[in-house]
Chain A
Amino acid sequence: MALLEVQNIAKRFGGLVAVNEFSLSLDRGEIVALIGPNGAGKTTAFNVIAGYYKADAGKVLFNGRDITNLRPDQICALGLVRTFQVVRPFRGLSVLENVMIGAYARTNNNHEALARAEEVLDFLGMSKLSDRVASGLPIAGRKRLEIARAVATDPQVLLLDETMAGLRPLETEEVIGMVRKLSERGIAIFLVEHVMKVVMSLAERIIVLHHGETIAQGIPSEVVRNPQVIDAYLGEANATS
């Protein structure tokens, strides 16, 4: 059994089927990407897995345990954590405090939380920012903070929701480096991403969503040649390049 097993989850909003029959299996250290056009249901799938939406059907198993419809904080305590597409830093607090709040998921002790937060910031090359107030960070800093906070909770699975959106190429490279490092530590990563360059360089497998349905999945080089994927999402230009 894989670390994270998502079995045929579905989510409807009134008559609209946002996600249907979505399945996924993710193992330790693996990086899997979820792509698809806007409105395909990517973030909805995330929200169901992380406990923000109740699933209308299907199951989410984590380490063999059914976590479907647990609260986000319970899911985080078990070792699955997500970031947000629109970053949500604790604006009035410092970068260090932001990351400490993540670290408190594993300890009640101030010194341990502080040490853990400093370690994570150091590991991700963000130590210099630690005293800055989160609201004063540029967008790239806030995106990295979003990841650092999540990593501080000591997850086994990390769900990254469009972490590279809005970043410049150089900043994107930095974040790609961060994700690789985390993956080398054994954290399983499931990411939603629009930037194909990122997807191609990071993902070992890709799942393509369209109107809530999984239309393709497999290794990146095959998926990008799939005619249905080209038609629904990538377009001719991307496929030939």
Chain B
Amino acid sequence: MSADVSNKITRNPRKSLWHSLFSTWDRTQITASFILVGLMAISPLFVDSPYFMGIIILAALYAFIGISWNIIAGFTGQLLIAHIIFLALGGYTTIVLLNTYRVSPWVGIFVGGLVAASAGIIIALITLRYGLKLDYFALFTIALLVALRTLFLKWEFVGGAVGMYLRLAKPSTAKMIFDSKPPYLYIVLALLTLGIVIQYLIYNSKMGKYFMAIREDEAAASALGVNTSRYKTLSVIIGATLAGIGGGFYVMYVTFIDPTGLFNLGVNVEIVMAGPIIGGLGSLSGPILGAFVNKPIAELIRGFLAEERSGITLIVYGLFLILSIMFMPRGLAGVFHSLYLKIKRPSKEEA
């Protein structure tokens, strides 16, 4: 507090912009997140290859999905492992609405968000009703994923085991089908911006503080007036909605969906969990930083090792995850936070 006051007096206006962007660690994280978004926004100027463009788009999408999981697992501390369920439900909803009912994906992906939110409510109610917490909660979500995969494999209306392909159509903005990458990039960046803002607003609200109180100590939180069931449910609903929207976009981008591809724990690790864990679960910048390390590295490993037996890419990727958890238990955000504090301390003494 006192440092803030002295800064206001001594610093000139040019420095005050710098100050407002980096004065606290939270602000610094938001600034860094938007710098990354900005870099991606101008990336079409110097990235020609559709392949690299594709990696950038998926990295941005992973960051958005990472945020959705971070709110549940990072802020509220609920081990909702099989988060990809929400992604899949949002994806299926979007593609069924478009293929079968000719509903524009611009509407469809948000309906997908609502369907995922409903699934979130059901998961929250069941687990709260039977008092499933921590590892039992985690196991329940995994079991649900397996059950849903089986259901979707047999469900002909949504394509059964074959899955569903986007009906071939001419590029059309109304149908969110484009013949080049940049439009997809700007849609996903809009989503990511929305995600960053929502995450920040939650983090700084009563709701966010209550989420964190639940994560740190549920019994103590309830002693202080936190309706833990209500806030846990809220956190799952918010995370599920965002993931459902992300799933809708994912399907529009990759143009198909099938049960084994998305109701899949391995894919869940890559799309949902790896980013926030590498980046720093529970932090504001973790999901974004993590996605930008996770996606390229996953792609790199695949590129180098794809000609070998396919299993080896997973082994190497797993090893990479283990090492990053061992050496950065608080993720990249944790490493950068320590650096930030080191840089900040001496400058305070100068003033």
Q: Measuring CB to CB, which residues of chain A are less than 8 angstroms from any residue of chain B?
A: 50, 52, 71-74, 76-77, 81-84, 88-93, 97, 100-102, 104-105, 108, 110, 113, 149-150, 152-153
Contacts and interface: CB of A to CB of B under 8 A. Distances in A.
A31 B101 CA distance: 69
B201 to A, nearest CB: 11
A97 B209 contact: yes
B225 to A, nearest CB: 3
B205 A150 contact: no
B209 A101 contact: yes
Contacts of B226: 73, 101
A68 to B, nearest CB: 17
B224 interface: yes
A77 to B, nearest CB: 5
Most chain A beta carbons < 10 A, residue from B206, B216, B225, B228: B225
A92 B281 CA distance: 13
Interface string B195-217: 00000000011100110110111
A237 B219 CA distance: 38
Contacts of B224: 73, 76, 81, 101-102, 105, 149-150, 152-153
B222 interface: yes
A90 B212 contact: yes
- Could you tell me the dominant secondary structure of chain B's interface residues? helix
B227 interface: yes
18 contacts: A73-B223, A73-B228, A76-B223, A76-B224, A83-B223, A89-B216, A90-B212, A90-B216, A90-B221, A91-B217, A93-B213, A97-B212, A100-B209, A101-B209, A101-B224, A149-B224, A150-B223, A153-B224
A225 B83 CA distance: 63
Interface string B217-256: 1011111111110000000000000000000000000000
A101 B210 CA distance: 7
A104 B219 contact: no
Nearest to A106: B225
Contacts of B227: 71, 73-74
B209 A82 contact: no
Given A101-B224, A102-B224, A110 B205 contact: yes
Contacts of A82: 223
A153 B224 CA distance: 7
Contacts of A74: 227
A77 B225 contact: yes
Contact of B219 (A52, A97, A153): A52
B284 to A, nearest CB: 14
Chain B interface extent, by class: 20 to 34
Contacts of A97: 209, 212
Nearest to A78: B225
Nearest to B222: A72
Given A84-B219, A110-B205, A113-B206, A104 B212 contact: no
Nearest to A97: B209
B217 to A, nearest CB: 5
B212 A92 contact: yes
Contact of A84 (B209, B216, B223, B282): B223
B223 A93 contact: no
Nearest to A135: B216
B212 A153 contact: no
Given A91-B216, A92-B216, A93-B216, A72 B223 contact: yes
Contacts of B223: 50, 72-73, 76, 81-84, 150
Given A101-B209, A104-B210, A113-B206, A153 B225 contact: yes
A81 B222 CA distance: 10
Interface core residue of A52, A83, A90, A100 (most chain B CB under 10 Å):
A90
A153 B220 CA distance: 13
Contacts of A153: 224-225
Contacts of B212: 90, 92-93, 97
A77 B206 CA distance: 15
A125 to B, nearest CB: 17
B206 A104 contact: yes
Interface string B276-310: 00000010000000000000000000000000000
Given A93-B212, A104-B210, 11 more contacts: A52-B219, A72-B219, A73-B222, A76-B222, A81-B223, A84-B220, A88-B220, A89-B220, A91-B216, A92-B215, A110-B206
Contacts of A93: 212-213, 216
A93 B224 CA distance: 15
A105 to B, nearest CB: 3
Contacts of B225: 73, 76-77, 81, 102, 104-105, 153
Interface string B87-100: 00000000000000
A50 B223 CA distance: 8
B26 to A, nearest CB: 12
